Structure 1
Amino acid sequence: MARNAGHRIDWRSAAFQERNDDASLEARKNDNIEPLRSMMRECVVSTQQWAARQQAIAAARLAANSASRAPGAGTPSSPRRPGAPGAHIGGESERRGGRVG
């Protein structure tokens, strides 16, 4: 119904996550739907607002993924001890003082 009217319901909004249980309980127990209405006013967004939020979320994910793949990301800050898993074991040219790589 919301989508057909040009709106979306953002179930991830802080308003929903913080108040849904209490607002629903208030409506059920005391027949008071005002807390639900108030919460929904904050959760219902226009299609344009929804698209902007989705783009922001995608950009944040892309930035986080790019940062984790940046040069040096995830590499140890100190050299590995010889023979440790993943440590480089020098070849013949390294032992003769030659350049490796």
Structure 2
Amino acid sequence: MSGLETGRLPSFCRLQQTAAAAAAAAAAAAAAVARQTPSQMRQQQQQQQQHPRYFSQQQHQSQQQRRQKKPPQQQPPSPLAVTAAAAAAAAAAAAAAASTGA
């Protein structure tokens, strides 16, 4: 094996690691979407589409919460969402390392 071939090998390995990390992030995101309940999916679609009624619904919900004198309910992120976010961050870091090193 010549010096040129061994020189190319590390960057190819980094590229493989980046692809594997990206695939893992995509799989985690797909699993997160698959496990969402129908109501969560509808809510997410409304947010993504920026539906005009979404803002009025959100305002209405906040007014109801003020009337009931309850603090707004915040759900902790699910472990799957945390894992997906970590996998996406790892994929981004691997892609950055591969682009600077190659």
TM-score, with structure 2 as normaliser: 0.29
Larger relative helix fraction: 2
Asked which structure has the greater RCO (Cα within 8 Å, sep 6+), the reply is 2
TM-score, structure 1 as length reference: 0.29
Larger Rg: 1
